[in-house]
Amino acid sequence: MANQEDFYQNVYEVVKLIPFGRVTSYGAIANYLGAKRSSRVVGWALNSSHKNSIAIPAHRVVNRLGLLSGKHHFQTPNLMEERLLSEGHVIVNDQIQNFDAVFWDPASALSL
């Protein structure tokens, strides 16, 4: 039964499955979980992730524009950008360049 807790756990699972050098969006995760209109809850799940004692590459999750909307919620505001840069991404004005090329859609990748 897809309880809310399962939803949160599901978000963590998906985020942890994001391959190196790839990123996805809140909406994409929500869509994969069957709640494409609940993208905000995905953000809340990630916000709650730092309480869950589990490592989650939340820096690989940005909004649909490739903007690092949640960088301020990290340990340090520049940690997200630094990590993305370390993975080979190009960040300009807090936005991932060539976002479409590095976008990883769980609904497509996990559906195969």
Residues found near DNA in the complex (CB under 7 A)? 4, 7, 25-28, 30, 35-44, 46-50, 58, 61, 63-65, 67, 69-70, 72-74, 80
**Smallest distance from the beta carbon of 95 to DNA, in angstroms?**
12
Minimum CB distance to DNA smaller for 58 or for 96 = 58
Minimum CB distance to DNA smaller for 72 or for 101 = 72
**What DSSP element (H or E) covers 91?**
strand 91-92
